[in-house]
């Protein structure tokens, strides 16, 4: 079965500094991977998705992620954090008609 | 479009009571699903449906029933509520076209407390 591991439960950054949220996956074949964001008291929103077209995927709000097969990673990055980026982020893999969610990383952004 | 609508937003139940969480979508999506979200555990799939009349179990189906009589609606029933079912529940839907990479659309969640 495919799975994802989010390596940090919390990440703290200052506004204007880079963001790195780490995700590793396990898969026996080429996976479909996603990043979702959840703002407080809201449902989840798709940030970006990887489906084997390009290894560098650009998403909404300036986020991007790079698929690295050799490292089985799909880390999420943003060059400059904004206060509005404070939220919980989920790495997700598609497996057998089901989406399997990581445990989430809470991003804290300080002024 | 309203997207995915969940009702109620909040609910408090006593142990042993039953209730139904409602989910409706107006995007003509074939695929609908229910997740529960618990701290430190991400989202776990309860039940899902790939079309009207078709349902299947997810990762944590015990204590929950679903049915799918129409494309639009996918209610989740708690038969006899237990404190372990205290959680935030999300309904999500997506189109089956290119189903492996089409994104899920989420409702805003139902926060359930069982005392």
Q: Is A38 helix (H, G, I), strand (E, B) or coil?
A: strand
Of A8, A15, A23, give the one whose Cα is nearest residue A93: A23
| Phi and psi, residue B111, nearest 5° | -95, 115
Beta strand segments in A41-104, E: 44-50, 56-58, 64-68, 73-78, 87-95, 98-101
Q: What is the pLDDT of residues B32-81, one digit of tens each?
A: 999 999 988 889 999 999 899 999 999 899 999 999 999 999 999 999 99
Please judge whether B101 and A94 are an interchain contact, meaning their C-beta atoms are less than 8 angstroms apart. Answer: yes
Whether the predicted pLDDT of A29 surpasses 80: no
DSSP B101: T
Q: What is the mean pLDDT of residues B11-32?
A: 95
CB contact under 8 A, B42 and A101: yes
How many CB pairs below 8 Å do chains A and B form together? 51
Total residue count of chain A as it appears in this document: 111
| pLDDT confidence of residue A30 | 74
Q: Is the pLDDT of residue B101 over 70?
A: no
Non-local (6+) Cβ contacts of A66 within 8 A are A55, A56, A57, A73, A74, A75, A77
Residue B58, chain A, CB below 8 Å: the answer is yes
Which residues of chain B are within 8 Å of residue A52 when distances are taken between CB atoms? none
Under a CB-based contact definition with an 8 Å cutoff, are residues A30 and A93 in contact?
A: no
């Amino acid at each position: 079965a495919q799975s994802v591991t989010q390596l940090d439960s919390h990440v703290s950054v200052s506004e204007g500094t880079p963001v790195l949220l780490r995700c590793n996956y396990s898969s026996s074949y080429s996976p479909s991977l996603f990043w979702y964001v959840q703002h407080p008291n809201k449902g989840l929103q798709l940030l970006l998705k990887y489906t084997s077209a390009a290894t560098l995927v650009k998403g909404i709000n300036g986020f991007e992620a790079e698929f690295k097969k050799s490292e089985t990673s799909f880390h999420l990055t943003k060059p400059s954090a904004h206060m509005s980026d404070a939220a919980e982020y989920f790495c997700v893999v598609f497996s057998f008609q089901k989406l399997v969610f990581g445990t989430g990383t809470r991003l804290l952004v300080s002024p | 479009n309203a997207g995915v609508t969940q009702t109620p937003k909040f609910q408090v139940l006593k142990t042993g009571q039953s209730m139904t969480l409602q989910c409706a979508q107006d995007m003509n999506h074939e695929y609908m699903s229910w997740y529960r979200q618990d701290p430190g555990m991400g989202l776990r799939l309860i039940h899902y449906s790939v079309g009207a009349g078709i349902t299947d179990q997810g990762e944590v189906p015990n204590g929950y029933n679903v049915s799918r009589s129409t494309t639009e609606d996918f209610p989740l029933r708690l038969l006899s509520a237990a404190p372990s079912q205290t959680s935030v529940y999300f309904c999500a839907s997506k189109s089956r076209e290119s189903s492996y990479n089409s994104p899920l659309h989420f409702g805003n969640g139902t926060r359930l407390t069982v005392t």
